[in-house]
Amino acid sequence: MKLKRTKTKKAERPISVTCASIEADILKEAKTLRLPLSAVKSYTKIIAKKVITNLEEQKYKTPKKNDLTQSELNSILAKELSRYNKDLSFVYKNRGKII
């Protein structure tokens, strides 16, 4: 999956991601959407593990190796979540795009 970075005056800072941080983030969004957390937990672990594994194997073709920005992570999670829950996927796709 090739990620397109938009040119901005101030480049977005890369962030460090872990399985736990991804899981916590997804569960927080699921709580906001009033989704049943027991169901969400089951696929959250799978997604978090997949993202970290792909990142370590450098499967995401980012311009710099092991360098992931928040918006790139949001688009990756939106794609992964689209298979499990459309609403959660929508939230990640539209993060920072409400106003």
Partner 1 sequence: MKPDMFIVILAGVIHATLQLGIGTLLLLYHASIGKHVKKRTRELATNYILGNGLLTALAITAMCFIIALLFSGPMNPAVLTIVAIALGALAISVWGFYYRWGKSTELWLPKSVAKFINERAKTTNSNTEAFSLGMLACFAEAPFTIILITIAANSIISLPISLQLLALIIYTLLSVFPLVILRIAIRQGQTTVDIQRWRIKNKNFLRVLSGIGFFTLALFIIAFKVLKG
Residue by residue, what is the 3-state secondary structure of 52-74?
HHHHHCCCCECCCCCCCEHHHHH
CA distances 77 to 3, 9, 10, 71, Å, are 13, 25, 24, 10
Given candidates 2, 8, 61, 64, which one binds partner 1 under the rule CB under 8 A? 8
Instruction: Assess 32 for contact with partner 1 (CB under 8 A).
Output: yes
24 three-class SS: helix
**Shortest Cβ distance from residue 98 to partner 1 (Å)?**
5
Residue 97 binds to partner 1 (criterion: CB under 8 A): yes
Give the Cα separation of 96 and 4 in Å (integer). 17
Q: Interface with partner 1 includes 13 (CB under 8 A)? A: no
Q: Is 7 in the site for partner 1 (CB under 8 A)?
A: no
Q: Which two tokens stand for residue 48?
A: 């978090």
The one among 18, 20, 31, 66 contacting partner 1 by CB under 8 A: 31
Give me the residues that bind partner 1 (CB under 8 A), please: 8, 28-29, 31-34, 87, 90-91, 94, 96-99
